Amino acid sequence: MSDLNAKQEGIAIKVEELEEKHNDQEKQIETKTDKNDVHVLIDERLKEEQVVTKADLEKLEERMEANLHASQMKLLKWIIGTGISFISGAIAIIELFIR
C-alpha cells in the first residue's frame, strides 16, 4: 500500500510539473507576436517615418509607365491628325492652282 501511495505522490508531482510547464508555454505563446503582427507594426512605423518602401516604388513605376503610354498615344494621335490636315490642305491648294 505504501508503494501505491509513493507512486501516486510521484505521479501527482509529475502532473504538477507538467501543468507548470504547460502554463509557462501558454504565457510564452501569449507574449509572442506572430509574423503578421510584426509586418503590421513595421508598416505602421515606416508610414510614420514616411520612408518609401519597395511596394510604393513599384506602384509609382506602374503609374509613370501608364502616364507615359497615355502621353505617347496622345502625341501619336496629334501627329496623325496634323499630318492628315496638312495633306488635305496641300491637296486643296494644289487643286486651286490646277483648275
pLDDT value at position 85?
A: 96
Per-residue pLDDT of the chain (99 residues; tens, 9 = 90+): 777 778 788 888 888 888 888 888 887 777 666 667 777 788 888 777 777 778 888 999 999 999 999 999 999 999 999 999 999 999 999 999 987
Residue ranges of the domains in the chain? 53-99
Q: Choose among 80, 84, 78: nearest CA to 92.
A: 84
- pLDDT at residue 39 in the model: 77
Tell me what pLDDT residue 2 has. 76
Angle (CA) 28 46 35, round 5°:
30
**Stated pTM of the model:** 0.43
pLDDT for position 37: 75
Helices (H), the chain: 2-31, 35-49, 54-98
Residue 64: the pLDDT is 97
Q: How far is the C-alpha of 95 from the C-alpha of 99, rounded, in Å?
A: 6
